[in-house]
Structure formats: C-alpha cells, structure tokens
Structure 1
Amino acid sequence: MLLATDGEDVHEARMAARPEHFKRLETLKSEGRLLTAGPNLLPDNPERVSGSLIVAQFESLDAAQAWAEDDPYVHAGVYSEVLIKPFKAVFK
C-alpha cells in the first residue's frame, strides 16, 4: 500500500504529470497487480486532492519503494511524502 501526501500548491504539477502517472497505473492493472487506486480528497473541499492511495501487489517492499520513487508525481514534486506499508487484502 502506498499512501502519498501532496505538497503545497501542487495542483498544476499534478495535472501536468497525471497522464504519465495514469499510464503506470494502467500497466499495473494490465498485469493484474492493481487492487485499487485513487486520490485522497480534502475533507473541507472534496474538489481538491491532498494525496493518493495505491494498493497494488509488488514482489517486496523494496520493489514498491523503487516503483514509488519513479512515479511521475514524485519527479514533478507533487508528493511531499510517500508511506509504504504491507497490505493484506481480506475482501475483494
């Protein structure tokens, strides 16, 4: 599970990097490794994004870390923090 937090004033950078970010998610999906993904919204403004959640299968935490570090949102400076934790899907 990857839980990413956006930095301040990154909306334009997020929009610019979104197509490449989505391509990577589509690759995970086509490989059958993506369980779910989507933006975290601000509680007081559900039109604004505050980060992302990606639940996907990786060979290891190191592989998940490497995948996250190569994300277009990371390269564009969108994410200020990315937390990676093991996740066990109980319900699908």
Structure 2
Amino acid sequence: MLFAIWIEDVPDSLQRRLKVREAHLERLREFVAQGKVKMAGPFPKVPGEDPTKTGFAGGLIVADFDTADEAEQWLKDDPYYAEGVFKSYWIQPYIKVLPAE
C-alpha cells in the first residue's frame, strides 16, 4: 500500500541536513532499487533558489509499505531523523490516480 510521508524541518536545520545528506540519499536509493519509492524530494525554503544554500522546509516521500507503522519506523531509521532535522511528520495512506501506469 502506498503512503505519503509529509515532513516539516526544524528551523535552521540546514547544517544538520547537509551533514547526513549523502547517507539519507543512499538509503533512499536502496529503497528505490527495491521498487518501493514512487517519488521523493525536498521542499525548498526559498522557491527558485538552491536549497543547499538557502535551506529546506521539509520534504515528501510516497512509498510502498505494508502499514503506517512500518512507514513510521522506516522514517525513524532515517539519518535525518537521527540528526534532529525533522520538526514533525504526517503519514497517510495514498491512492495514486494519475497518471495511470
């Protein structure tokens, strides 16, 4: 089942985020290789600017999990979570309608 994970970063988390960014991305790449991730990406703090310089507001991941609890545990195992980047998160079941595959 697909779940959408909406994440809000704590203010001024850029340095913490950048410190573990490669580990976070590698973990996502492994999940992509398993066919689990449907989409993932950050919310830039300043639209049109490089968020690695101006900051991130959070992010969104849509991925396949058996349960919401599994999705939450997966998120809590993420390097960003361990580094204290996340202020809050929201996990909801997600139904992809378009585009049809």
TM-score by length of 2: 0.84
Find 1:18's aligned residue among 13, 16, 21.
21
Once the two structures are superposed, the pairs formed by residues 1-92 of structure 1 within 5 Å of their partners are: 1-42=4-45, 45-46=46-47, 47=49, 48-92=55-99
Identity of aligned residues (%): 34
Query: Structure 1 CA distance, aligned partners of 2:82 and 2:67?
Result: 22
Question: Aligned AA for 2:34?
Answer: E
| Structure 2: runs of 5 or more not aligned | 50-54
TM-score normalised to the size of structure 1?
Answer: 0.92
Give SS of 1:13's match.
helix
Deviation at 1:27, TM superposition (A): 1.3
Q: How far is the alpha carbon of 1:41 from its aligned partner? A: 2.1
Q: CA deviation at 1:3?
A: 0.6
1:3-51 CA distance string (max 9 Å, x none)? 1100011100000111111111111100011100000123xx2233100
Q: How large is the Cα RMSD of the aligned pairs?
A: 1.0
